[in-house]
């Protein structure tokens, strides 16, 4: 089975490729689809429809975000913009005097073919550390510590991150769907 993953993020492709078995062949295509300002489910739904109109082949996209509870779930759908503007240092500064450091990552995989439009969700609870740690991964990985670990995602290699990852949880549901439908 061949599926296109529309993304510009090579780290996401590597994480997902680690999860697929031999009968799924994922091809990356980098199309700059519009990301509306809304919750990430809506962003993913719009994005996958837009990509499908362009490519008309079975494809998926993945949208994710970091939600920090003491900041009213900020940056959430603005995670990408906020990361580009203030980075992990900016996040640590915002939380400088904050005791409650709870946060979660959400991943939405949106799949579309001619018969289906499906969303699959994965959530990982954790907290924001007090400093940046680790050189692995991307984005907010060096400041996010998943529950039941004391390492940041940045201190984990890809395999270890996938034991906790929001993306892995979403992908597991997606691959179950793919095998049940025999697409």
Contact map string, positions 89 to 108, toward ligand IMP, x by CB under 6 A: ----------------x---
- Show the tokens assigned to 131: 């400093």
Which single residue brings its beta carbon nearest to ligand IMP? 139
- In the complex, the smallest distance separating the C-beta of residue 155 from ligand IMP, rounded to whole angstroms, is 13
141 binds ligand IMP (CB under 6 A): yes
Inter-CA distances, 165 with 16, 37, 70, 91, 161, Å: 11, 24, 22, 20, 6
Q: How far apart are CA 49 and CA 62, in angstroms?
A: 13
Which of 47, 58, 139, 146 is in the footprint of ligand IMP by CB under 6 A? 139
If you count them, how many residues does the chain have? 183
Q: Give catalytic status of residue 63 as yes or no.
A: yes
Reported as type and span, the H/E element at residue 90 is helix 79-94
* Residues near ligand IMP, by CB under 6 A: 9, 63-66, 79-80, 83, 105, 137-141, 153, 167
């Amino acid at each position: 089975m061949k599926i296109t993953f529309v993304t510009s993020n090579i780290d996401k492709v590597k994480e997902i490729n680690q999860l697929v078995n031999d009968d799924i062949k994922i091809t990356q295509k980098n199309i700059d689809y519009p990301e509306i300002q809304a919750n990430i489910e809506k962003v993913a739904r719009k994005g996958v429809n837009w990509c499908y109109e362009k490519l008309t082949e079975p494809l998926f996209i993945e949208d994710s975000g970091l939600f920090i509870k003491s900041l009213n779930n900020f940056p959430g759908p603005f995670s990408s913009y906020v990361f580009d503007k203030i980075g992990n240092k900016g996040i640590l500064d915002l939380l400088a005097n904050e005791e409650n450091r709870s946060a979660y990552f959400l991943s939405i995989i949106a799949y579309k073919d001619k018969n289906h439009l499906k969303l699959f969700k994965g959530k990982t609870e954790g907290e924001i550390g007090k400093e940046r740690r680790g050189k692995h991964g991307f984005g907010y990985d060096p400041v996010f510590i998943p529950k039941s670990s004391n390492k940041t995602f940045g201190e984990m290699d890809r395999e270890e991150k996938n034991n906790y990852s929001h993306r892995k949880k979403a992908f597991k549901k997606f691959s179950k769907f793919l095998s049940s439908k025999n697409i």
